[in-house]
Amino acid sequence: MSAAARRAGRTLAVSAWLLPLAVLGVQALSRRWFFPQLLPRTWTFAPLRAVLTDDRTMAAVGRGLAVGVAVTAIALLAAWPAARLLATAGAAGRGLIFAVLFLPSLLPAVGLAIGVNTVLLRTPLSSGLPAVVVAHLVPTMPYAVALLTAAFARLDPDRERQAALLGASAWQRLRLVVLPAVAGGVAAAAVLVFLVSWSQYLLTLLAGGGRVVTVTMLLFNALAGGNPSSIGSLALVAAAPSVLALAVAAVGLREPARS
Amino acid sequence: MTLEVEGLRKRFGRGAPAVLDGAAFTVPGGSLTSLLGSSGAGKSTVLHIVAGLVPADDGSVRLDGRPLDRVPAHKRPLTMLLQRPNLFDHLDVVDNAAFGLRVRGRRRAERRDRAHQLLRLVGVDHLAGRWPRQLSGGEAQRVALARALATDPAVLLADEPFASVDAPTRRELQDLLVRLQRELAMTVVLVTHDRDEALALSDRLVVLAGGRIVDEGPPPQLHRRPRNVATAELLGMANHWRGTLCHGCLHAGPRPLLVSAERARGPIEGPRPARWAIRPEDIRIGTVGPNVWPGRIEAQRYLGSATELTVAVGELTVVARVAPSCPSTVGETVSLQLPVEALHELEES
């Protein structure tokens, strides 16, 4: 592929990602914006300021972040050994394991949410924040396992052996050889798991028993209310961690680590 | 430091054939010893067991009398060069060379100084700021050598380290390894299946076949008088025949061959079964006298400094290496002279 074609492809991809965000931004900063106007006649920061200074919104952001970070950490830790095994083990059975892992993703969201909730109701984690975290692990684990497996499959086992032969302990091999080699896969898995968790609505609603309110849930409520500026402002808040996570991952992976 | 390997046995899985079946040998301190064997002979497995990467089913490894069997790989006072350089892609050349010092907790300035010294020693200090992906195969293997030396290993194990580079680079790297081994008085164990490499570099050869050590000694001795078929074949002695030894003659081909008592492994009066061998370059063409076999040239192969002839002698096949100037045509009938002094008896395996 030529450099010009690559540049064009990159521009197209970034535009496709930025355009909806730009539309949300305009909607959040407008007082009235109706068809066929290309841009709103009146601009204002009031709806965005109202959302950003609202205690309920900020509490929902904090809750969503807490759930997302917890789900990401647990999913990555749990997926790590599974992915290592899947990447190094023979091909036999690997397809079946992936099929079982991804099976919940094939179910309709409502069916999955009700099923998870039914199981959780029979455990001490019947509702509340821990229940939401456990519920979010169901749709996120397959992504974590799949992305980490791909990362480990690219890791040459001879590199680890070589490090051991040079005197590196198991912890040093993990820190100095394995982690730098799979950092891209870990970052990609972390971003994806966080985003899937952050944007969950039905699982959060059912597993949280309506008491765990996240930004996504506020956004759904706002959609029912019909105020376009508030919807735009909340949508921007909902999109912010995703944009930030992607930006951090993109910048963090550009420079290789130095000793 | 002297490395002693005793009675190593290894199977990869229950019911699998034995890869090592009691392999035992000694590597004298300060020597370059080559483990020579065909593919699947168990050479690399021996090295991996010595390095601590693979556990042995039985047997032991000692360094200056101290057993290493329970010492994990990263705590053994030795290191290994693998077939590929295995440089760490996320570290530049200096940091790669300094890796062993980093894991030993040396300060950054100290380890970088040492890394530069070693990179200079192996001739790649000018590449210090580059990344592994910017190096040729030979350059990367030089960096890997510097990285191995940085740990001051008591023994350097090398598992076919020159197999993945082109011939001129391989020659340069071989010369570099020998120079460093002499200068630093290192104990080196080199695994190779390349007889020229083993003969040219080693102080001592250890021949592995079927998971056992079948021969060992200085290269000229093994080249001149291999003990058995495995060593003979590995060292290029392509001709060996089984026959009956009787009254100082071997009855194996169209005519009896006179043999020397000095080169026999038992009495030559016989009668007894025996296997004798001769190097292709020791056979002469078109001469008359004792030990002459008539044959027909079946194939010829130009090797540059010699031409290799495959000659059918009755039911036997004889390989002879002659000067390229020696006229020969496929299908031509020739007389092969097998000099008495060039015939050696091999042990029956």
Cβ contact A181–B90 (<8 Å): yes
pLDDT of residue B6: 94
For the whole model, what pTM was predicted? 0.80
From first to last of the 259 residues of chain A, give the pLDDT tens digit.
688 888 898 888 888 878 888 888 888 888 777 777 788 878 888 888 888 888 999 999 999 999 999 999 999 999 999 898 888 776 667 778 778 877 877 778 777 778 887 887 777 777 788 889 988 998 899 899 999 999 999 888 899 999 999 999 999 999 999 999 999 899 889 989 999 999 998 889 888 888 889 988 888 888 887 788 888 888 889 888 878 877 776 676 554 444 4
CA distance B242 to A80: 60
* Phi and psi torsions of B156, nearest 5°: -105, 120
Set of chain B residues whose Cβ sits within 8 Å of the Cβ of A167:
74-75, 79, 100, 103-104, 151
Q: Is A108 on the interface with B (CB under 8 A)?
A: no
A24 close to A239: Cβ distance less than 8 angstroms: yes
Contacts with B289 (C-beta within 8 Å, 6 or more apart), sequence order: B337
Could you give the angle at the alpha carbon of A46 between the alpha carbons of A40 and A49, nearest 5°?
125
Q: Give backbone dihedrals phi and psi of A40, rounded to 5 degrees, phi first.
A: -65, 155
pLDDT at A258: 44
Is any Cβ of chain A less than 8 angstroms from the Cβ of B98? yes
A252 — contact with chain B (CB < 8 Å)?
Answer: no
Low-confidence residues in chain B, pLDDT < 50? none
**Bridge pairing between strands B272-278 and B257-258:** unpaired
A30: Cβ contacts below 8 Å, ≥ 6 apart: A40, A42, A43, A44, A228, A229, A232
Distance CA B257, CA B240 (A): 13
d(CA A34, CA B133): 56
Task: Identify the CA nearest to A150 among candidates A78, A96, A94, A74.
Answer: A94
Q: Please state, in angstroms and as integers, the Cα–Cα distance from residue B288 to each residue in B284, B293, B335, following that order.
A: 10, 10, 8
Q: Is the peptide bond before B271 cis (omega within 30 degrees of 0)?
A: yes
Q: How far is CA B82 from CA A33, B204, B296, B298, in A?
A: 67, 21, 45, 41
Are B295 and B239 spatial neighbours (Cβ–Cβ below 8 Å)? no
Both structure tokens of B165: 């580079």
Q: How far apart are CA B14 and CA B23, in angstroms?
A: 19
Please tell me the predicted confidence (pLDDT) of residue B177.
Answer: 92
Looking at residue A62, its pLDDT comes to 92
Residues A36-72 as b or e (16 or more Cβ within 10 Å = b): eeeebeeeeeebbeebeebeebeebbebbbebbbbbb
Strand arrangement of the beta sheet that strand B292-302 belongs to: B284-285, B333-337, B292-302, B307-313, B316-322
pLDDT of residue A91: 60
CB nearest B100 (choices: A159, A166, A257):
A166
Q: What is the DSSP letter of B17?
A: P
Nearest by CB: B80 against A165, A176, A180: A165
Res B255: pLDDT: 87
Query: Quick check: bond before B161 cis, omega within 30?
Result: no
Reference B261, options B346, B341, B348; nearest CA is: B341
A259 interaction partners in chain B (CB closer than 8 Å): 91, 95, 98-99, 102, 108
Question: Which of A57, A64, A23, A56 is closest to A228 using CA atoms?
Answer: A23
Record: contact B148-A161, CB cut-off 8 A: no
CB contact under 8 A, A166 and B108: no
Q: Which residue of B has its CA nearest to A258?
A: B91
Angle subtended by helix axes A179-198 and A228-252, to nearest 10: 170
B107 interface with A at CB cutoff 8 Å: no
| Integer Cα distance of B329 and B124 in angstroms | 50
> Which residue among A158, A165, A170 sits closest to B79, beta carbon to beta carbon?
A165
Closest approach of A41 to chain B, Cα-based (Å): 53
Which residues touch B140 (CB under 8 Å, ≥6 apart)? B85, B87, B132
B209 close to A (CB below 8 A): no
Task: Reduce the DSSP state of residue A88 to 3 states and report it.
Answer: helix
ipTM: 0.84
Helices marked H in A122-175: 129-153, 157-165, 170-173
Query: What pLDDT is recorded for position A259?
Result: 41
The chain A residue lying nearest B77, using CA atoms, is A167
Interface of A with B in 126-165 (CB under 8 A): 156, 158-159, 161-165
**Is the CB of residue B282 less than 8 Å from the CB of residue B259?**
no
B103 touches chain A (CB under 8 A): yes
> A166–B79: do the CB atoms touch at under 8 Å?
yes
